[in-house]
Structure 1
Amino acid sequence: MTVSFPAAARRPPDGVRGRRRRTLIGTARRGLRAAVLLAASTGMALAIVAAPAPAPADAATGAPEPSATPSATDAADAANLSVVVAPAGNGVVSTTVVSVAVAVSNTGDAPAASGTMTIALSRSPLATSAQVTSWLDAQTVADTTVASVPVTAVVARGTATATAAVDLGALGALAPGVYPLSAAYSSPTTGTQPLVAHSVLTVPDAASAASGVGVVVPITAPPTTTGLLSADDLKALTADDGALRTQLNAVTGTPAILAVDPAIPAAIRVLGSSAPASARQWLADLLALPNSRFALQFGDADLATQIAAGLPAPLRVSTLDPFMSARNFTSPAVAAGASPTATPAPDGRTLPTLDQLLDIGTARANFFWPATGSATAGVVAALQSAPGASGSTEPAAITLVGTSALSGAVGARADAAGAGILAYDDGASRALRTASLASDPVHQGAGLAAASAYASVATRGAASSAPLLVVVDRATGRSATGLRAAITAASSLAGRSPWDLDALLAAPAASVSVTGGTADDPTRVDALRDLLDQETRVAAFATVLADPTLLTAPDRAEILQLMGNVWRAAPDQFATALSDHRDATTTTLGSVAIVPPSDITLLASSAPLTFSVRNDLPWPVTLTLSATPNDPRLIVQKSADVSAGAAQSTRVLVPVQARVGSGESTLDLQLRSSAGVEIGPRVRVAISVRAEWESVGIVVMSVLIGAMLVLGIVRTARKMRRRRIAAATAAHNPQTEDVDG
């Protein structure tokens, strides 16, 4: 369903705007979920070399392909096995005996035989994030076997788990560091080539607890093609099992730094008293949280794409008034979180202002979070110098950038040629996202172990006293349990204590350079430019309205929603949404036009011609109809004012005078708005002039009238003559009868 214009009186008919919903609450969500799962499986490979379910187990673990390995049996192919290993305690060693869980998953249609899992550990620690990544992606096993555990047979499309106790004391004291851990699964099904999974054990360093860690968590909605979520969408998303309620429950009671899409509270507030009760409660709960926070762009719009498209500053919404109906606002208090100041409505009631609608609570302004991997030096510089980004009344701009895009000593707080940066650790953030999406404890534990390792190596060396920042990146389809587990683990990574946003910003800034980041996808850049071109045409067309924002405001909101980062994971659905928006724009631009008339025959030298103007919009429009003859022998009134009512056709009279008795001519008709913008196509009408028939008619009528007058005079004269004769005869002979009697 479509709620481009929530106020019933302002909602165009379906045939006018056709703003069809494309949220992933329905069909689009299923497509996006598949993309998210694929992305999750890719990220999971950081901690679970053999785990990605979409890929064959042999390929994931580095085992030879069946076609190239005679020892890979048909049973192994049919079983399609994958292995994952996860040490307990998020991979952080706190005792000499560590519990290690393993899982063998079978996504095939045939059962797999029972086997043995051999766990090995290397005493050579990993010193850098690159080394951790290399190990998690490796194909080899660690050098020291520390445990072996049997694994039962794995049924088709099932999972078998086992737990082994690893006695680290037998290896001697391990210095603080990150140690490679592997698990190799062998069974008759796997043949001679075992399946190998990788993880890590982290021996903590007491010095790392001297500073803090910040955890950024996004609060975003599924993708949508309308400017704001509808009441039905909000009801579903804020229900007990809804995506927004899940996110809020996960962050409640945690020290997470919230990155909130302001379009969500705005969607609730514009509904006023008609907003679903669950949505109003969700907003109240959000505002009541003590967590530090900042606002994402409206709709979490893609910042890198906007900069790549040449925009001087990120796009904003200028008003959301068209989404509101005054009847839902009997007092300012109806708008949740409204301040005493409000925009007066025509009937004396009040509507919340734009700032009130977008309010997410006490938040730090001028904060930017480009999509992961998209923050290049150009993007950071553009955001820093964007108009209003560093105004005298606002704090300086801060951009979140992944450490892989930076060079130099990197803590959480950094400075790149005067541009303020908060740097989040890429490796730990990827692992946390993987853990938040995991559907079982073993996969979740593997992701958290990897996050602990990345955090540990990130804090070693000269930057050990600097705060660490991680993000639990944008994703859909995760549970409150998975997200909360990731946040909880992240809040104590490397033994650190949680810091809020103010503490991170107050830390000394390290000097860095932005050397990485990937240039934005040209397809998305072209899409945005096309959307902005359509917006320009809609803005010009909207001048037919007394209040052009009735069209322009929803259109800008829709563009920002379409550029939401969540669409990056669903390119096919994104292409469909763009096509739908283009069709809707075409429909809108064609909603006011001249009804093509039939050819006209002019039987007089002058007469008014009648034309019809169609208005499919749900609001009245004011136009000027211009008439231009293509023959100087036609004299027409050059323009006529048109006031067309909402959703109706209006007649317009155009006086025309012909200087010729007979001939063929044409008349060009064009509608224009009060701003002089051409509205609708130019219409040409053929006119046949037959004005000589008017002269013939006059002559004929004159002759007929003259003849009737003559006949009347003759008859009257004869009658009077008879009367005189009769009178004379009667006087001469009184006895004679009156001849007229």
Structure 2
Amino acid sequence: MTVSSPAAAHRPPDGVRGRRRRTIIGAARRGLRAAVLLAASAGMALAIVAAPAPAPADAATGAPQPSATPSATDAADAANLSVVVAPAGNGVVSTTVVSVAVAVSNTGDATAASGTMTIALSRSPLATSAEVTSWLDAQTVADTTVASVPVTAVVARGTATATAAVDLGALGALAPGVYPLSAAYSSPTTGTQPLVAHSVLTVPDAASAASGVGVVVPITAPPTTTGLLSADDLKALTADDGALRTQLNAVTGTPAILAVDPAIPAAIRVLGSSAPASARQWLADLLALPNSRFALQFGDADLATQMAAGLPAPLRVSTLDPFMSARNFTSTAVAAGASPTATPAPDGRTLPTLDQLLDIGTARANVFWPATGWATAGVVAALQNAPGASGSTEPAAITLVGTSALSGAVGARADAAGAGILAYDDGASSALRTASLASDPVHQGAGLAAASAYASVATRGAAASAPLLVVVDRATGRSATGLRAAITAASSLAGRTPWDLDALLAAPAASVSVTGGTADDPTRVDALRDLLDQENRVAAFATVLADPTLLTAPDRAEILQLMGNVWRAAPDQFASALSDHRDATSTTLGSVAIVPPSDITLLASSAPLTFSVRNDLPWPVTLTLTAAPNDPRLIVQKTADVSVGAAQSTRVLVPVQARVGSGESTLDLQLRSSAGVEIGPRVRVAISVRAEWESVGIVVMSVLIGAMLVLGIVRTARKMRRRRIAAATAAHNPQTEDVDG
């Protein structure tokens, strides 16, 4: 929790410099990108393989044949190679001759020798999603060789590609289904154990009456530790090559169902006329899209963790007014995308309301999307029963859940013990996410082929009439081309036509049970509870302000951002961000306090004591200073009202009266807010009473003054006497010079 004015963060030219920008943000973003790329390359074994194929068996005995052991140099080189295979057309067979692309990547520092890629196909179809996953994770090769293609030498840290034509007609007719495909790469570098990659071919069923498919795509920002993205963040993210512009360009012109983080439009709107031009244009483009949509939690906050922490309902922001400056808004020009109605500000200008700030366009309310894999039965039930999740004026709650956590009938629309569910296919969704992150066409094609296979087996037979839902899951660091390719492929999976959110929700609901999902990480649950405990302390402290929301509103926004799902991929950066927030909260709570005084010596029976109160906040505070003596011989004024300006210190006078002439005592000082909340630590002051010194001083002074008066009188009398004598002498001796005493 920071202590600078939130609105100042959006007006660097002449205000208090922006909210504390923590260096963890840049590090977290770089860390997340690295994590994402690593996951994309190591991924779900869609087609990339690092393990060699098992040695062939002896034809007579069935025992494995002995193989030559590669040299140490060869083995080291082979460990740096990876292979991927991708059939054309997203793996969907449309002609008898299928083009299959292969790629060999070399992460080592030496060139790998040229070799041969052998393509093989199995005629035994895969019937379930589990069988598709098992094949893509396998280390064996398919049983029928269908093509072979040479691969050139692979330079250090480079990739070599090749394309083979596979004539399926030579194999005979293949029935509709999903068929295993493998590519085995052999070269002097790999020795006698080739590297094998796996993919799948999908033969569509022309006679199947497939239903619709919905594709959910998140519009989210990189991680941040501040309540809202700053103007500089928005300028970078909405630039032509920025992450937010990339996402918007990718979904434009597609039927994607948008899941939008409302904190992004809010961050643009709170800036009013000072928002970067690129950000205002991005928001206008988002609102102009015809796509159906729903709002994520503010900051895409982690729903599973909130429910696991026992919260009765998902956390929300109550106001964002502290982030706004009235000078950026006029009565005729409210924030971009907001309706004309606004909240009057004290100076007569208007500020957008919270609903206007969070508006993402026409959206369906009460749609919840927990992080993939974390939606348990408890999470679904808690969201369904949360206050405000369902009511007479609001649509019933709907939770997105992966099919791997469900048992029962398949299809996008489902119901679990009265809780509304949109079930998305895990396998296809994971493959689409991998494809969207791919940096080259072969890796992307491998992911899309896997997605086609999962979609084909997900709703076959009688279930083909049920709609299918997939998500291109949350990720950072993907290109507009990769994301758009994934959305385009998803929109026609298994020959289906795209459906919007309303169509999916209107479909008949199948009865299911939520039997899977992972119980949330205790570390994240504990982190949220700690954040909420800090928030309670900040809320109590904020009563020193005339408007406590100046502190509480940014604090709640920061908590939601810190609980964003994007941090799940970066636990180390998450821990660092939590530590920074804890330190900032401690700084805030210590920003108003009594300046510790030195020991006091009271030389009179009564006198006012002076104490200092400091205020490091950028707003004025109002407090009460209470004084409690620990000795009945001291009589003090028990309370004194204190008003301290922004970033200032002030002095407070506390009258004290001593009933004893001499002695030692202490006085306890404590600041309290108008709500009676103790502010800062209690301060104890040691007081030495020396009241008798006052009488002694008076006596001494009286004696001194009396002595001076007597001496003055004596001197004056002597002087006058000398003058009289001199005058008499002069009268008798007129010639004598008159000498004055």
Give the TM-score, by structure 2 length: 0.92
Distance 1:508 1:525, change over 3 A: same
What's the CA shift string for 1:325-353, capped at 9, x where partnerless?
Answer: 00000235330111132111001000000
Shift of 1:54: 21
Distance 1:348 1:104, change over 3 A: same
Distance 1:587 1:25, change over 3 A: closer
Distance 1:342 1:19, change over 3 A: closer
Distance 1:636 1:319, change over 3 A: same
Shift of 1:368: 0.3
User: Aligned partners of 2:2 and 2:645: how far apart in 1?
Assistant: 24
Distance 1:160 1:729, change over 3 A: closer
SS across alignment from 1:8: helix
User: Aligned partners of 1:109 and 1:728: how far apart in 2?
Assistant: 128
CA contact (8 A) 2:673 2:679 kept: yes
SS across alignment from 2:75: helix
SS across alignment from 1:666: strand
Shift of 1:608: 0.3
Moved more, 252-261 or 166-175: 166-175
SS across alignment from 2:728: helix
Shift of 1:700: 3.0
Shift of 1:461: 2.5
What's the CA shift string for 1:619-662, capped at 9, x where partnerless?
Answer: 00000001111111111101100000100100000000001111
User: Aligned partners of 2:3 and 2:625: how far apart in 1?
Assistant: 33
Distance 1:426 1:57, change over 3 A: farther
Distance 1:290 1:224, change over 3 A: same
CA contact (8 A) 1:72 1:193 kept: no
CA contact (8 A) 2:3 2:551 kept: no
Moved more, 99-108 or 215-224: 99-108
CA contact (8 A) 2:68 2:192 kept: no
Match of 1:240 in 2: 240
SS across alignment from 1:333: coil
Distance 1:58 1:238, change over 3 A: farther
User: Aligned partners of 2:665 and 2:17: how far apart in 1?
Assistant: 37
Distance 1:24 1:448, change over 3 A: farther
CA contact (8 A) 1:16 1:591 kept: no
Moved more, 43-52 or 563-572: 43-52
**Percent of residue pairs identical:** 97
User: Aligned partners of 1:330 and 1:62: how far apart in 2?
Assistant: 84
SS across alignment from 1:181: strand
Match of 1:49 in 2: 49
User: Aligned partners of 1:131 and 1:249: how far apart in 2?
Assistant: 36
Distance 1:65 1:525, change over 3 A: farther
What's the CA shift string for 1:675-725, capped at 9, x where partnerless?
Answer: 111111111111111111111122233445556777889999999999999
What's the CA shift string for 1:285-336, capped at 9, x where partnerless?
Answer: 0000000000000000000001111111110000000000000002353301
Match of 1:81 in 2: 81
Shift of 1:68: 12
Distance 1:77 1:737, change over 3 A: closer
Gaps of 5+ in 2: none
CA contact (8 A) 1:608 1:653 kept: yes
User: Aligned partners of 1:666 and 1:157: how far apart in 2?
Assistant: 74
CA contact (8 A) 1:56 1:81 kept: no
Shift of 1:186: 1.1
User: Aligned partners of 1:692 and 1:541: how far apart in 2?
Assistant: 43
Match of 2:323 in 1: 323
CA contact (8 A) 1:217 1:473 kept: yes
User: Aligned partners of 2:9 and 2:129: how far apart in 1?
Assistant: 58
1:486 aligns with 2:489: no
Moved more, 407-416 or 689-698: 689-698
What's the CA shift string for 1:204-225, capped at 9, x where partnerless?
Answer: 1135453100000000000000
What's the CA shift string for 1:379-416, capped at 9, x where partnerless?
Answer: 00000000100021100000000000000002000000
Distance 1:291 1:714, change over 3 A: same
Distance 1:268 1:91, change over 3 A: same
CA RMSD of aligned residues (A): 4.4
SS across alignment from 1:643: strand
Shift of 1:158: 1.2
Shift of 1:26: 2.6
Moved more, 352-361 or 684-693: 684-693
CA contact (8 A) 1:72 1:190 kept: no
User: Aligned partners of 1:67 and 1:641: how far apart in 2?
Assistant: 90
User: Aligned partners of 1:140 and 1:309: how far apart in 2?
Assistant: 44
Match of 1:602 in 2: 602
User: Aligned partners of 1:300 and 1:431: how far apart in 2?
Assistant: 22
SS across alignment from 2:333: helix
User: Aligned partners of 1:27 and 1:734: how far apart in 2?
Assistant: 111
User: Aligned partners of 1:322 and 1:58: how far apart in 2?
Assistant: 76
SS across alignment from 1:25: helix
Distance 1:490 1:53, change over 3 A: farther
Shift of 1:425: 0.1
User: Aligned partners of 1:320 and 1:263: how far apart in 2?
Assistant: 10
User: Aligned partners of 1:65 and 1:105: how far apart in 2?
Assistant: 29
Distance 1:258 1:736, change over 3 A: closer
Give the TM-score, by structure 1 length: 0.92
User: Aligned partners of 2:55 and 2:735: how far apart in 1?
Assistant: 140
User: Aligned partners of 1:223 and 1:188: how far apart in 2?
Assistant: 45
Moved more, 164-173 or 563-572: 164-173
What's the CA shift string for 1:72-92, capped at 9, x where partnerless?
Answer: 763653661111110000000
Distance 1:544 1:597, change over 3 A: same
- The total of aligned residue pairs comes to 741
User: Aligned partners of 1:251 and 1:385: how far apart in 2?
Assistant: 33
Distance 1:376 1:671, change over 3 A: same
User: Aligned partners of 2:197 and 2:8: how far apart in 1?
Assistant: 58
SS across alignment from 1:215: strand
Match of 2:393 in 1: 393
SS across alignment from 1:236: helix
Shift of 1:537: 0.5
CA contact (8 A) 2:55 2:193 kept: no
Distance 1:29 1:68, change over 3 A: farther
Shift of 1:483: 0.3
User: Aligned partners of 1:223 and 1:355: how far apart in 2?
Assistant: 23
CA contact (8 A) 2:24 2:576 kept: no
SS across alignment from 1:379: helix
User: Aligned partners of 1:62 and 1:736: how far apart in 2?
Assistant: 159
Match of 2:531 in 1: 531
Shift of 1:32: 1.3
What's the CA shift string for 1:432-472, capped at 9, x where partnerless?
Answer: 00000000000000000000000000111321100000000
SS across alignment from 1:209: coil
What's the CA shift string for 1:46-99, capped at 9, x where partnerless?
Answer: 343449999999999999999995577636536611111100000000111111
Match of 1:221 in 2: 221
What's the CA shift string for 1:109-158, capped at 9, x where partnerless?
Answer: 12111111111111111110000001111111111111111111111111
Moved more, 198-207 or 329-338: 329-338
User: Aligned partners of 2:611 and 2:484: how far apart in 1?
Assistant: 66
Gaps of 5+ in 1: none
